Amino acid sequence: MAKGTSIMDVRLHGGMGSKFSLSRDKHTNSTIYQYCLNDEVESVRSYCTTAVCLPGWSGKHCDQKDVETPESDPVTSCGENNGGCGEDVCVEVGDDVFDVQVKCNPPDEEIFKVPTVKPMSDWNYKGCFNKMHSSTEETIRSVESCSELCDETFYGIKNGELCTCANIVDNEVGADRCNKKCSDGLSCGGESFYSVYASKVSDIFLNRQFKLAKKASKSIVVGCFKYLELEHKQNEKDKAHCLDSCKELGFPYSGTGNETCQCGRDIEFKDQLNKEQCKEPSVFFLLSDVSPDLDVRGKPTKYNYCMNDRIESKKAYCQTGLCKLGWTGALCDKRDCNTSDGACGEGMICVQEIVNYVTIAKCLCRDGLASVGEFECKGLSVYAVRRKSRRGKKFLFPILSSNFLRRSSPYGKISLKNLLYRKETEPQPELMQSPG
């Protein structure tokens, strides 16, 4: 046996003990098998998984000193030497740019295949709302006839027959309030509520502060991948030109990276990375949706992958193609009410509704309140009017009206949550009749 070597019994990845000849130096008992899992301190760090070397070491058996990465320096980037992950997938995790580590995920054994994306339905139902910012209404018989009347972003039907076109909608409530049907059997609102559908136009308007939000004509990022395959190849090296070219050809998706351009409907991907790792120039592939579907607040409803979230990507559960907690589906575009309450915010609840023969899961406000923001609730605005009950006693009843904000009331808004009927004998001013 050569000088400076010895025989040691070692175990690799849970296997049976084997004898290897180990080289020694004056600093360590052995210069090989410097796996992070063998170190009590490093093994608990986020980067440490199977077969990953300690910082400062590399090679298949972690037996080579990495002169470019001193042993004392933590690995904070996947940019060089794949973050020390070897053949694994390097992912950068951290709460901010000043607290970044690397995590090594094993490469995917199989390619993820997303089913062909179906074109957007003509009846792109958005929800049941109390308010549409419009002053005109037309009598219709079907959802289709209403859509033909409107050039605005949204069209809605109230009480089974009244069509309204608007660029802004507000006050979302449960689908049970839109209990009327049109002649085609589709949801057509309620007595004071609108079944709202999205028109085939590009602009989505924010429902608060009346500011223009994102345009659907702009692309959004689906994810960053080591492997990406779409069915149509384009001779475009510039990312912006590639996105435009794919959209002009009628493809919903574009893949850019490594000076290539792909377009398509069928998506195949493998080994998902942080979105930030696809910043140009990059050898990885960025998948983009060039015609995204947005909600009424101008936010995308798809691609809630955990790897796209800096916080969630550092958690142990997060791997390629997995959704953030509360989401499900191949494109992470459906809320999972059975997990984390569908990622709904405080004061809201994930509810499954059946509308137009389709089950929809969405976040709605509790206690009969209306949603006025992504996670903000309030009581519905009402008018108080004088009516008689069956027993002849006079009470005040709330009457919901879509016209409420188009006229001013000297008595202000009344919250439905706090409104209780009062006897006519109580002192009160003369009441204004509802214009609805």
Q: Are residues 335 and 232 in the same domain?
A: yes
Predicted pLDDT of residue 98: 58
Residues 241 and 208 in one domain: no
Give 291-310 pLDDT, tens digit per residue. Answer: 887 777 777 888 999 999 88
Give the pLDDT confidence score for residue 117 in this predicted structure.
62
Edge-first strand order for the sheet with 394-400 is 394-400, 381-388, 414-415
pLDDT band at 217; cut points 50, 70, 90: low
Q: Is the pTM of this model over 0.85?
A: no
What is the enclosing helix (H) or strand (E) of 242?
helix 239-248
Domain C-terminal end among 215, 236, 253: 215
Domain membership flag for residue 5? no
In this prediction, residue 230 has a pLDDT band, given cuts at 50, 70 and 90, of very high
Residues 207, 231, single domain; the answer is no
Kindly tell me if the per-residue pLDDT of 245 is higher than 50: yes
State how far the Cα of 64 lies from the Cα of 66, in Å rounded to an integer: 6
Q: What's the mean pLDDT in 193-212?
A: 58
Query: Would 370 be classed as within a structural domain?
Result: no
Contact 172, 207 (CB under 8 A): no
Best-predicted range by mean pLDDT (30-34, 328-332, 369-373): 328-332
Say if residue 325 is in the same domain as residue 233. yes
Query: What CA–CA distance (Å, rounded) separates 328 from 316?
Result: 18
Domain shared by 227 and 337, yes or no:
yes
Ranked by mean pLDDT, which of 16-25, 43-52, 209-218, 245-254 comes out on top? Answer: 245-254
- Residue 352 included in any domain: no
Q: What is the pLDDT of residue 368?
A: 76
164 confidence band (pLDDT: 50, 70, 90): very high
With respect to residue 266, please indicate whether it lies within any of the assigned structural domains: yes
Q: How far apart are CA 149 and CA 6, in angstroms?
A: 86
Query: Is there a single domain that holds both residue 293 and residue 309?
Result: yes
What pLDDT digit, counting tens, does each position of 53-111 carry? 888 788 878 877 765 544 546 667 787 778 888 888 888 776 555 567 788 888 988 89
Question: Residue holding tokens 């939000």?
Answer: 213
157-161, 211-215, 353-357: segment of lowest average pLDDT: 211-215
Residues 250 and 293 in one domain: yes
| Of 193, 215, 237, the domain-final residue | 215
Give the residue with greater pLDDT, 30 vs 290: 290
Q: Is residue 8 part of a domain?
A: no
**DSSP-derived secondary structure letter, 358:** E
What are the Cα distances from residue 331, in Å, to 47, 189, 247, 297? 27, 30, 19, 20
Q: Do 140 and 201 belong to one domain?
A: yes
Last residue of a domain, one of 288, 317, 341: 341
254 vs 209: CA distance, rounded Å = 33
Domain shared by 328 and 264, yes or no: yes
- Ramachandran region, residue 129 (left: φ > 0; alpha: ψ -120 to 50; beta: rest): beta
Residues 331, 315 within the same domain: yes
Residue 43: the pLDDT is 81
- Structural domain including 394 reads 381-436
Average pLDDT over residues 403-414: 33
Q: Could you tell me if residue 211 is inside a domain?
A: yes
**Lowest-pLDDT choice from 30-34, 45-49, 59-63, 344-348:** 30-34
Residue 33 contacts residue 58 (beta carbons within 8 Å): no
For residue 105, what pLDDT is reported? Answer: 83
Q: Rounded distance, CA 141 to CA 188, Å? A: 10
pLDDT attached to residue 22: 41
Can you tell me the mean pLDDT for 353-374?
84
* Res 86: pLDDT: 83
Which residue has tokens 């910012």?
133
pLDDT for 407: 32
- Both 238 and 175 in one domain: the answer is no
Dist CA 31 CA 63 (whole Å): 5
pLDDT at 197 over 60: yes
User: Greater confidence, 330 or 388?
Assistant: 330
Residue 256 within any structural domain of the chain: yes
Residue 237 and residue 337 in one domain = yes
Establish if 59 belongs to a structural domain: yes
Q: Which helix (H) or strand (E) holds 23?
A: strand 18-23
CATH number at residue 194: 3.50.4
Kindly state the helix (H) or strand (E) to which residue 225 belongs, with its residue range: strand 220-229
With bands split at pLDDT 50, 70 and 90, how would you rate the model's confidence at 27? very low
Q: Where are the alpha helices (DSSP H) in 327-374?
A: none
pLDDT in tens, 120-161: 555 789 999 999 988 788 999 899 999 888 888 899 999 999
Question: What total of structural domains would you count in the chain?
Answer: 4
